[in-house]
Amino acid sequence: MHPTSEADLADAIATAKGALRIQGGATRDIGAPVIGTALSTQGLDGIVDYEPGALTLVARAGTPLAQIEAALAAEGQRLPFEPMDHRPVLGTKGTPTIGGVVAANVSGPRRVQVGACRDFLLGARFVDGAGRVLKNGGRVMKNVTGYDLVKLMAGSFGTLGVITEVSFKVLPIPETQVTLAFSGHDPARAVAAMAAALSSPFEVSGAAWVQGQTLLRLEGMERSVAYRVGALAERLKPYGQAEHIQGTAAGAIWQTVRDAHALVGCETLWRVSLKPSDAPAFLAAVDPDHQLKCQIDWGGGLIWLGAESAENAADTHASLRGEIASRGGHVTLLKAPTALRTSLAVFQPEPPAAAALARALRQRFDPKAILNPGLMG
Amino acid sequence: MEMPAPNPAVLALKPRLVARLQEVLAPDAVIHDEAETRAYECDALTAYRCPPLCAVLPSTTQQVSDVLRICHEMGVPVVPRGSGTSLAGGALPTADSVILGVARMNDVLEVDYDNRFVRVQSGRTNLSVTGAVEADGFFYAPDPSSQLACAISGNIAMNSGGAHCLKYGVTTNNLLGVTMVLMDGTVLELGGAHMDAPGLDFLGVICGSEGQLGVVTEATLRILPKPEGARPVLMGYDSNEVAGQVVSDIIKAGVLPVAIEFMDRPCIRATEAFAKAGYPDCEALLIVEVEGSDDEISEQLALITDIARRHNPVELREAADEDQARRIWLGRKSAFGAMGQINDYMCLDGTIPVSQLPYVLRRIGEMSQQYGLGVGNVFHAGDGNMHPLILFDANKPGDLERCEAFGADILRLCVEVGGCLTGEHGVGIEKRDLMVDQFAPDDLDIQMAVKDVFDPKWLLNPAKVFPLAASEPRRQAQIAAE
């Protein structure tokens, strides 16, 4: 199904006889496999309103992300949360849409400083499982009118409703960026260096560890960045001499971090969200022999782990879940052969009270249980 | 503002209820004497008052759970209360409700600089969260103007903002986790020191739910390293249009000030008479503040003052030192007090798209003439969050009603131009009946469905947020079942 208007989409859902597999550009095949009729939002296309002077943008869900980023860039602005492109690691094709970004609450390295997709989402229109067209939030930056269902829709993977339109707070693109790169760090040293950087007043907008290098990004006005780079390098002297990477070269590095290039080609992929300072001990426990490919982002708060083959995936999965249980946080099985994504819980099972609330909410938003049923467990 | 009639069956339960509450709480934590319950008869929306059935002041999450379980079993409504600073009537009781105050729960439970968070009991005041970490160079960003008194629990309930949220966001953007008790006594842990939700984003919907989904007893809050310094610049213009254009140009230029505050002439005159901050007598005044090291501040201010000059300001004053900075902020920070000196006032909180600022200010001026009530405007211009202060005389019959009608018209105007009823104060009872102007019946129904899930009996703060007519079937179903 490929509706070209919100009304048609609502009609398709209201009259649906069975399960629907909701997709935007189908580039983020995440979650337990859903069997059902494909319902695409790509026909709902176009930027509805963009006010650079108010830092707000409204677009229909099927609008290609690239189109939005180009429109923003023309005014020297951007989506601050730096949404990742999942195509390289997931091996998918297609055109990422803004609705898909919201449905999966997709954020990149800058999340550690400015917040996630959900933090910049001001409003949403969506169609619930009964076919009702609903709206929540708006297009203004501060809004506490009624419950914030906008946050609830972000990251709900189409299981509460099909998003038809979204509005965002956007921010200016800074004049310049510089990245400090420290070599020869193991995870423990990297996380310590990143904590020191993020606890400084120098506004670090990216803190990642990839292939033995700790990367710290500073963005802003020319003179300001120059000052902060010097001050930060001085403060981080105990962690070694940093190489300074400027301009487009720095931009390219952060794109590879954002898209987790270090894990491209892995057949199984996990995403671990945890307390940043727990990252080194977590890694030491689950992968003492460095068998897995690994990238750390968000100063330690996000670990990507990948295995080239899916052979021991079930065991690794169990050990990751076991280790996170004692620490707090969660593990998502982001990529695996279909059979494994069916048999293993892709999303971290929640404690009984939270799971009961989630079930009851889905029942209210999707009484016929037709919207991506079972995708989130 | 109408409130539902108290349920006589619940009123009759008082002796048994008090006895059961006394079994789980310290003797001085159950307030049931009629003279003493008066202390809880209103919040900062003082035009509406009603003493509760009783008030309880638990000290632990377990006690909160016990209280809620008892009230749940007996079918007694509960109104959670932080410090009672709500301007929207969020903590206004009904005669048949129990006030659950978290004021005794104000400890700092954990401070973690490596991971940049602090975990506190929810009764702790906003400013004292920063107080607990500032000696080590950190702060908690949301700064509502009541921050000296307001509690984190209330900040979470209303998703409070403040003057600096253009850069740092509001409460929801700085909240990492909560311990929350559901109406049936279930204790729930959501979020924590990690950065995103494992499944549905419950934290996002709890923040701003006005105490209707659960009672938050502990909160994990993001703290930030303090900037090296901050400096404001003051600029005056002879028209609101021009000042609005300056705001838009600053934002478009790519600098992101931490605050852009706006005051109009009535407000400038009132604060000048009251605080003598030395403000120019002009149509519109802007205070723009930037942060960073000295050099960074100078670099940003140079860009901002360039833009300001292009629009022919009647005054442009950069703070050269701490004392001048303080004086620039002095008037803005005294604005509410100054207006209060003139008369009683009602403070509104609608948000509008920034581009609509001149039009909305002009319309407010016209309406002020029609209603014969003065109004001053002071607000966060960077994010379009307005705070019109309507002056009225509480002792003059009919004035409050006229003021409320005027306020409702302003809020409808905010919605009409693409904005919303409330930017940071919450709906409470104050804007409850205007929700139909912003939301279609289905939009309200899906929100109420969320409450159905968290609080199936509709006992938590039941007469708030939703128009009484819209929530009545759900509230009545509960009363009928008891």
- Tell me which chain A residue has its CA closest to the CA of residue B167: A114
Question: If residue B222 lies in a helix (H) or strand (E), which one and from where to where?
Answer: strand B215-222
Question: With an 8 Å Cβ cutoff, are B427 and A145 in contact?
Answer: yes
pLDDT at A36 over 80: yes
**Topology match between the domains A176-258 and A261-343:** yes
Whether B205 and A354 lie within 8 Å, measured CB to CB? no
Architecture of domain A6-172: 2-Layer Sandwich (3.30)
* Closest alpha carbon within chain A to B296: A224
Out of A195, A332, A364, closest to residue B114 by CB: A195
Tell whether B186 is within 8 A of chain A (Cβ).
yes
User: CB of B163 within 8 Å of any CB in chain A?
Assistant: no
CA distance B51 to B31: 11
- pLDDT for position B482: 65
Tell me what the mean pLDDT of segment A2-27 comes to.
Answer: 97
Residue B200: which of A116, A139, A156 has the nearest Cβ? A156
Give A375→chain B minimum CA distance, Å.
Answer: 11
Identity of the amino acid at B334? S
Contact of A88 with A259, CB cutoff 8 Å: yes
- Residue labelled with tokens 């005794």: B104
**Is residue B14 included in any domain, yes or no?**
no
Task: Tell me if chain A has a CB within 8 Å of the CB of B340.
Answer: no
In a shared domain, residues B361 and B297 = no
Q: How confident is the model at residue A186 (pLDDT cuts 50, 70, 90)?
A: very high
Last residue of one domain, picked from the residues B307, B335, B363: B335
**Spans of chain B below 70 pLDDT:** 482
Q: Residues 378..417 of B with a Cβ closer than 8 Å to A: which?
A: 380, 382-385
Residue that is last in its domain, among B192, B225, B258: B225
Residues B403 and B367 occupy one common structural domain: yes
Query: Do A151 and B204 count as a contact with CB atoms less than 8 A apart?
Result: yes
DSSP helix/strand/coil, B68: helix
Place of tokens 């869900």: A61
Question: Do B416 and B348 reside in the same domain of the chain?
Answer: yes
Q: How many CA within 13 A on the CB side of residue B315?
A: 18
> Is A142's CB within 8 Å of B383's CB?
yes
CATH of A176-258, one of 3.40.50.720, 3.40.190.10, 3.30.70.1710, 3.40.50.300: 3.30.70.1710
Between 1.20.1440.120, 3.20.20.70, 3.30.70.260, 3.90.1010.10, what CATH number should domain A261-343 receive? Answer: 3.30.70.260
Give me the sign of the Cα torsion angle A152, A66, A125, A148. Answer: positive
Radius of gyration of chain B (CA): 23
Domain that holds residue B236: 230-335
In this complex, the residue of B420, B444, B453 whose CB is nearest that of residue A357 is B453
- Nearest chain B Cα to A375, which residue? B199
ipTM score of the complex?
A: 0.97
Q: Which residue of B has its CA nearest to A303?
A: B194
Predicted TM-score (pTM) of the model is 0.96
B34 belongs to a structural domain = no
Boundary of a domain, candidates B310, B335, B360: B335
Contact B385 A141 (CB under 8 A): yes
Integer CA distances (angstroms), B225 to A199, B232, B284, in order: 6, 20, 33
Residues of chain B neighbouring A199 (CB-CB closer than 8 A) = 113-114, 116, 137-138, 225
Q: Please answer yes or no on whether A330 and B188 come within 8 Å at the CB atom.
A: no
Asked if B254 and B329 sit in the same domain, the reply is yes
Q: Where are the alpha helices (DSSP H) in B334-393?
A: 335-342, 357-371
Query: Is B453 near chain A, with CB under 8 Å?
Result: yes
Tell if the CB–CB gap between B199 and A350 is shorter than 8 Å: yes
The total number of structural domains in chain B stands at: 3
Per-residue pLDDT, B341:
86
